[in-house]
Amino acid sequence: MIKKLLSFFLVSLFLISGFINYKVFRSLIDQALLIYEFNAFQLNVPYEIVEPMDVDFPNITVTTLPMKALKGRYLMRDSVSSQALELLYQSRKDNPFLGIGEFELSKYHLNKKNLDSALFYSKIAFQALPNNPLMSRIHFEVLTRMKKDSLLDVSFHQIKDNFIFEQWADYLFCKLEIGKTPRKELALILNSVKKTMPGNNQFSTLNTLINIGSENLNDFSKMIIEAETLYSKEKFNEAANLYEASAMKDPTEFTHFENAALSYYRGNSIEDAKRLFRYTMRTFNPKKGKSEFYYGLLLYEEDKKEEACKFWAIAREKNFAGSQRVIDSFCK
C-alpha cells in the first residue's frame, strides 16, 4: 500500500513538474516576442497571436515586466478596451514597482480626456521610473493639459539633476505651452542646461522658440516644430514626412534625417526608416549611436541577428542608452 502511494505521488510530481516546465517554456517563447516589441516601441504582433497567450502563469517576464500589461497594450491597440483595461488593472498587482500598467492606463485616460484619472496614473508611473523619458513625458503632458504649472515644476525638480536631454526638452516645451513663465526666464534655464551638455545640437528648436517666439518663426522653423508636435502625439508618419521635407531644405543637418528615420520606424514604414538610417550613418556618422541602435532593431526584425548585433555593438561604443540591454538579451 505504501509503495503504491509513493509511486502515485512520484508520478503525480513528475506530471506536475512536466506541466509547469512546459508552461514556462511556452511563456518564454511568448515573452521574447512581447519584450522585443516593448523595447522597440512596436505593436506589430497580430491580435490572433496575442489573444490566446497565457499571462497568468508565469505572470511576469524574465525581465520582471507584467505579462498582463504587455498583452493589454495589443488589446488596447485593437480597441478591445474592456478586456485591455482589466488586464492593465490586474498587472498593477503583479509588479507594482515598474509602473508599466499605470503608464498604459494614463495614456488611455488622457486620450479619453479623463484628466484626473490620467494624472493619478501618470504620477504613479513617473514615480516608479522617474528617469525614464516615456514616464516623465506622459506625466508632463497631463500636467500641461491641466495647466498645472507649479506641479510641473515640482515633478521636474525630482529629475533635473540627471540632465537627460529628452526630459529637459519636454519640460521646457511644456512650460512654453502653459505660457505662465516669461521667455527670458526660460532662456536662462535653457542656457544653463546647455552648458552641462556641450556639443548637443538638439536644443536648436527650443532655442528658437524661446528666444524668437513662435509668432516670429519662419516657415522652416514652423515645419520642424510641427513635426515635433506630431511625433509627440504619436502621428509618426506625418511627422516623418515633415522631418524629411526639412532635411531636403537643410541637408547639412543630420538630425532631420535621423528624426525622419525614427518617425518612420515608429510608424512602421520600415523601408523608409532603413533608407534614412543608412543615409544618416553613411553621410554623417553621428556620435550618439541612435541610428545604429534602431537600424539594428530593424535588422533583427528581419532575422538578421548577426548583423543587428554588429550595429548594436557600435551603438554601445557610442554609449547609446539601451544598447547593452539588447545585446545581453538577443546576442548570446
pLDDT for position 106: 96
Backbone angles phi, psi at 302, to 5 degrees: -95, 15
pLDDT for position 159: 95
Q: Quick one: cell of 134?
A: 516615456
Q: Which domains does the chain have, with CATH numbers?
A: 218-286 (1.25.40.10), 291-332 (no CATH)
Q: Quick one: pLDDT band at residue 275, thresholds 50, 70, 90?
A: very high
Q: Quick one: pLDDT band at residue 3, thresholds 50, 70, 90?
A: low
Instruction: Say if residue 25's pLDDT is above 70.
Output: no
> What is the rounded distance in angstroms from the CA atom of residue 57 to the CA atom of residue 75?
19
Q: Quick one: pLDDT band at residue 303, thresholds 50, 70, 90?
A: confident
Q: Quick one: cell of 332?
A: 548570446
Q: Of 21-30, 138-147, 168-177, where does mean pLDDT reach its minimum?
A: 21-30
CA atoms within 13 Å, Cβ hemisphere of 19: 7
pLDDT for position 18: 60
pLDDT for position 204: 72
| 230 vs 233, more confident | 230
pLDDT for position 7: 61
pLDDT for position 241: 93
Mean pLDDT on 290-318: 92
Instruction: Say if residue 212's pLDDT is above 80.
Output: no
The CA angle 31-133-137, to the nearest 5 degrees, is: 110
pLDDT for position 14: 58
Q: Of 21-25, 104-108, 109-113, 204-208, where does mean pLDDT reach its minimum?
A: 21-25
pLDDT for position 272: 94
Instruction: Say if residue 206's pLDDT is above 90.
Output: no
State the pTM of this model: 0.72
71-106: b (≥16 Cβ within 10 Å) or e: bbbbbbeeebeeebbebbebbbebbeebbbbbbbbb
Q: Quick one: pLDDT band at residue 39, thresholds 50, 70, 90?
A: confident
pLDDT for position 217: 57
> What is the rounded distance in angstroms from the CA atom of residue 145 to the CA atom of residue 141?
6
pLDDT for position 72: 94
